[in-house]
Chains A and B, each alone.
Chain A
Amino acid sequence: MVKYRTSTLDRTFAALSDPTRRRILRQLAGGSRCVTDVARPHSMSLPAVSKHLRVLESAGLLRRRRTGRVHTLRLEAAPMRRASRWIGDYRRFWEGNLDRLEGYLKEVQAKEITHEKE
């Protein structure tokens, strides 16, 4: 049986619910960056970006390394992988439903044809 750390899963999805935070994660997917680099393309103040960074940090989605005044951010892949696996499991439920619908539609149509013949 697949095990998930459920509180992490919850925090991961909450953190991912915001488009700015998703964009930040995409920026970091290409490699580590410093805070000012990450903040630059966003049309908001540095403190506003920092607020989003703290949410991502507390959800365990990124790590911060301090070298003097420079803060370098790195993506943490594990929580995203867990969340992705969870979505995948739910997707399988839906795929099963849709497969079953195919069988049912065939059954219903076959019945209709029988009725027409009668």
Chain B
Amino acid sequence: MKRSRKADDFMGREFVITREYDAPRELVFKAWTDPKHLVRWWGPEGFTNPVCEWDARPGKRIYVVMRGPDGTDYPMGGEFREVVAPERLVFTSGAMDEKKRLLFEFLHTVTLAERAGGTLLTVRSTVTMTTPGAGRYIGGFEMGMTQSLVRLGRSVQPQG
């Protein structure tokens, strides 16, 4: 049963992630919709976001440049589709090549529900487009992520 459900999920070319946060829903929503907040946590551990065009209103374009610990930039583009405070955010996003062309695109639906003093977050992501460059990108990106994890491992070594 479990196996067939997983196959179904994949057939829909999507994944679903849930997380419970010990924070009020309004704050979680703000962390998702205010670029000042977003730059502080978006991307893998050790990455920064030197460019963050993130105006959370339907129809507005998204352009974020994530910078890996080794200085490699990973530009990302997309568009907001639906913004319902403080519970729902629908947007597309995908990686771009050096000419700002999308390599692939996913449709993400982020929903926030109140849960006993905290917030239950659900992200449902469906692939909507891939190009021949998509696979290579994720490969390179994974390397950047691994490097940052190695770096993180070093930084948490006991000091002195």
- Residues of B within 8 Å of A22, CB to CB, are 11-12
Total number of A residues with any Cβ neighbor in B under 8 Å = 43
How many angstroms between the C-alpha atoms of A109 and B119 in the bound complex? 14
How many angstroms between the C-alpha atoms of A99 and B145 in the bound complex? 14
**Nearest B residue to A6, CB-CB:** B135
How many angstroms between the C-alpha atoms of A10 and B131 in the bound complex? 6
How many angstroms between the C-alpha atoms of A2 and B140 in the bound complex? 9
Given A13-B130, A91-B17, A1 and B11 contact (CB-CB distance below 8 Å): no
Max chain B CB contacts within 10 Å: which of A17, A87, A96, A108? Answer: A87
A95 at the interface (CB under 8 A from B): yes
Given A6-B135, A29-B7, A101 and B31 contact (CB-CB distance below 8 Å): yes
Q: Is the CB of B133 within 8 A of A6?
A: yes
* 27 cross-chain CB contacts under 8 A: A1-B139, A1-B143, A6-B133, A9-B130, A10-B130, A13-B130, A14-B130, A16-B13, A83-B10, A87-B13, A87-B15, A87-B127, A90-B106, A91-B15, A91-B17, A94-B17, A96-B43, A96-B145, A97-B43, A98-B19, A100-B41, A101-B28, A102-B21, A104-B37, A105-B21, A105-B22, A105-B31
Q: Is the CB of B10 within 8 A of A9?
A: no
Q: Is the CB of A2 within 8 A of B123?
A: no
Interface residues on B, range: 35 or more
Q: Is the CB of A1 within 8 A of B142?
A: yes
Q: Is the CB of B135 within 8 A of A26?
A: no
- Residues of A within 8 Å of B41, CB to CB, are 97, 100-101, 103-104
Given A26-B11, A97-B44, A2 and B27 contact (CB-CB distance below 8 Å): no
A36 at the interface (CB under 8 A from B): no
A5 at the interface (CB under 8 A from B): yes
- Closest chain B CB from A2 CB (angstroms): 5
Interface of chain B residues 29 through 67 with chain A (CB within 8 A): 31, 37, 40-45
Q: Is the CB of B43 within 8 A of A105?
A: no
Q: Is the CB of B42 within 8 A of A97?
A: yes
B121 at the interface (CB under 8 A from A): yes
How many angstroms between the C-alpha atoms of A5 and B134 in the bound complex? 10
Max chain B CB contacts within 10 Å: which of A83, A101, A109? Answer: A101
Q: Is the CB of A86 within 8 A of B138?
A: yes
How many angstroms between the C-alpha atoms of A76 and B7 in the bound complex? 14
A25-68 CB mask vs B (1 if < 8 Å, else 0) is 11001000000000000000000000000000000000000000
